A and B are shown apart, each in its own frame.
Chain A
Amino acid sequence: MSNLKYRPDGKFRTPPLGPLPWIAPSLILIATWVFWPAFEMVRTSFREVSRSGLILGYVGLENYSDLIARPELVTIFARTFLWVGTIVFFTAIISLPLASLLNQKFPGLTVVRWFIILPWAASVFSTALTFRWMLNGYYGFFNTLLVDLRIIDEPIDWLGYPTVALAWMVAVAVFVSLPFTSFVLLAGLQTIPNEVREAAQVDGASPWRTYWRIVFPLLRPALLVALVINLINVFNNFPIIWVMTQGGPGNSTDVTTTFMYKLAFRMQEMGQSAALATFNFVIIFMFILLFLRVSGWNKKDEN
């Protein structure tokens, strides 16, 4: 690369603006659509916004202290971490064998691959809406099926009980996260040269042992990247919970994103909502640092 800095006569050449002309458009985009809104959000969290939307001035940390004083907040944070952790965990557990399956050659492979991509291609909103209707306590498909099969006597209001509702929503979130994760893992699997496996087989390793000792360690970078991206996606996810339960009954299925929305648009506490968004921003930021670290570690390893 460094030889580009020299003209044919060997003298040093400096581009007048450096790399700026090439990266300026993206810098402007990032500044306008990422940093400026984030800055406004943080600024709002230090301001008092009246119920009708008027900005009344700066109030220091009052929004933060009011937010922290809310009795439901601790549970909502705890639930958010549990929600994210469970989804990311189950997504990984299911995606690993799924990716290995997709890596095999069998008739109908293309069809299977298409079907696995489907939940990714469909909008999360409509997927959640479909599940909400399937789980409806009076008319839902699941209830009709289970009652007709005499597994249950009368319809169950699946989304009416916090724990059951959360379990279903985790299932929907895993369903939606599977395609991305398994395809990242599939890509990872395809970078593993066949010679390595053959060598293990020649040495007499069982398929199980080959997988855990050879394939899995080589797959780890891809897995880590998929995990962290899932972590960020799920943490920011809003539509699944909002469509299926609106965080109810009460706040019993709320996570930080849905609670943020309720604070701003239902309870008219724009300042507190911005404060919560700032907390979320900090947490996401740590996830991003984690991601950069993971992908950086990945690169070093390849070299």
Chain B
Amino acid sequence: MRLKRSLAGIAALAVLLAACSSGASDEAAEETSTDTSTEVAGEIPATDLYIVMAQYTDAMQPYFDDLAARFMEQYPQVNAEVEVVNWEQLNDKLATLVATGQAPDIANSNVFANFAADGLLYPAEDIVSPEVLADIVPAFLDNSKYDGVAYAVPDLASARAMFYNKEIFEQAGITTPPTTWSELETAAAAIKANVPGVFPYGIPLGPEEAQAEFMIWGGGNGGNVYQDGAWAINSAENVETMEFLKKMVDAGYTQPNPATTNRTEVFQLFGEGKIAMVNGSVFFPSVLADQGSTVEFGTGAFPHNDGKSSITLGVQDYFFGFKKEGNQAAVKAFMDFIYVPDNYLGFLEAAGGFIPATVSAGAQAANDPAIGPFIDLLPGAIFYPGDLANWPAVQTELQQKVGLALNDAPGVLGQIQALAEQG
């Protein structure tokens, strides 16, 4: 009994302490806003650089170890340590580092706006030279802005295309890949009738990557998640799109239960010749090769609604530099070092078949048969609204819920829209 009372007492004390200390101010927010904007780039002081990079492939850590070693040969007063972190942990790790006051000097991720919104990042022009900045593909740089200022430098990008199984198309008597929704329905019906055991179109609306699938289909109907300066998740176009997808599901033109199917499963089924069409990224061929798949595939533009135009989804990632006293010159030197043409090509090679973010490297990649077709699709690309601080939260909501919109498009999309508008 006594133990019970003292436990209760301690718990009450904890609550009380927490409530009391709310008077004390928090310095963390002020500390980080230290102004370090102007520094002479010529003289680099002795600096420790802690750099967190994304693990596109297993080749990243060796690449960066080599890069850092060569960098330190050139700038012996700088100590650069690169940690490559896998994608599943990357954003949690960055958030934890920032929250505990151990923010890295340079980071690489698919989101940056949340850090920019808190005033933690250097503007892009402070972390790379004007020559490097001028070489970045303008559309990518536009997507690196927060509140009109670029706070990140794009590192690479990818784009999507429709992959189709040539053999299944042949068996079903389809000569050209469908370009519109009605052609798609005709093709799907032909596959369903002539090739048993095959799902015509794989639609992964499970949490792994539902937001991409949703934006690709919505984009083909003139929809987007953010349009004309406002969230547009439950726009008439998007609602119509989900209702079209529902029709596809009901007709048996897709795998059953898209709301819980993840991209990995759909890729697997495509690789086994059990799905005829899927949305695939520029790196999808290497996934198929790893799987040992022998499927002969072709690529084409995504089908669009009649009267609308075809789009692709562009996805880009970022480098960004955290403001810390005295680190700017070293950060800039390291960033410029990455974009030295040979180093940057090495980065792209290690990352494995992505679209370069620079004009110069892009010109070279355009001749690459694996990447060229995707670069051709880019002018019609829509992008995630990565410049909005709450996009990561909205993306989560889409991943979790958009599959349920198959059954109740206005209701579910409306819920996600409401969350997005809360900011």
Contacts and interface: CB of A to CB of B under 8 A. Distances in A.
Interface in A67-117: 71
A288 B257 CA distance: 41
Nearest to A161: B257
A46 interface: yes
A15 interface: no
Interface in B103-128: 114-115, 117-118, 120
A109 B88 CA distance: 45
A248 B257 contact: no
Given A51-B392, A137-B257, A159-B260, A250 B403 contact: yes
A52 B404 contact: no
Given A52-B117, A55-B26, A157-B260, A268 B400 contact: no
Contacts of B412: 250
Contact of A157 (B7, B98, B99, B257): B257
Contacts of A296: 1
B29 interface: yes
A262 interface: yes
B281 interface: no
Interface in B329-379: none
B95 A53 contact: yes
Interface stretch (A36-44, A119-127, A214-222): A36-44
A55 B22 CA distance: 12
B397 interface: yes
A124 to B, nearest CB: 20
B25 interface: yes
B114 A250 contact: no
B29 A56 contact: yes
Nearest to B392: A268
A138 B28 contact: no
B18 A43 contact: yes
Interface residue SS majority, chain B: helix
B390 interface: yes
A249 interface: yes
Contact of A138 (B22, B95, B269, B403): B269
Interface string A252-267: 1000000000100111
B22 A289 contact: no
B259 interface: yes
B230 interface: no
Contact of B207 (A136, A160, A248, A285): A248
Given A71-B415, A248-B206, A292-B3, A54 B28 contact: yes
Nearest to B422: A66
B114 A58 contact: no
A55 B29 contact: yes
Interface residues of B, number: 54
Q: Select the residue from A49, A52, A56, A57 with max chain B CB neighbours within 10 A.
A: A52
Interface residues of A, number: 48
Contacts of A49: 99
A279 interface: no
Given A51-B392, A55-B99, A137 B117 contact: no
A245 B260 CA distance: 9
B8 interface: yes
Interface stretch (B9-17, B70-78, B215-223): B9-17
A51 B206 contact: no
A51 B18 contact: no
Contacts of A71: 415
A60 interface: yes
A130 interface: no
Contacts of A138: 265, 268-269
Contacts of B21: 43
Nearest to A42: B18
A55 B3 CA distance: 35
B228 interface: no
A273 to B, nearest CB: 12
A52 B7 contact: no
B401 interface: yes
Contacts of A161: 257
Nearest to B22: A58
A268 B1 CA distance: 41
18 contacts: A38-B11, A43-B21, A46-B18, A46-B22, A51-B118, A53-B95, A56-B26, A56-B29, A57-B25, A246-B207, A250-B401, A251-B401, A262-B396, A265-B92, A266-B400, A268-B392, A269-B393, A288-B7
Please provide the 10 A-B residue pairs with the shortest distance between their CB atoms, ordered closest to farther.
A53-B99, A58-B22, A160-B260, A51-B114, A160-B257, A266-B396, A53-B98, A53-B95, A43-B18, A42-B18
Given A42-B18, A262-B400, A285-B7, 20 more contacts: A42-B14, A42-B15, A43-B17, A54-B29, A54-B99, A55-B99, A57-B25, A57-B26, A137-B256, A157-B256, A157-B260, A160-B261, A161-B257, A249-B259, A249-B260, A250-B412, A265-B95, A268-B114, A292-B4, A296-B1
Interface of A: 35, 38-39, 42-43, 45-47, 49-58, 60, 71, 136-138, 157, 159-161, 245-252, 262, 265-270, 285, 288-289, 292-293, 296
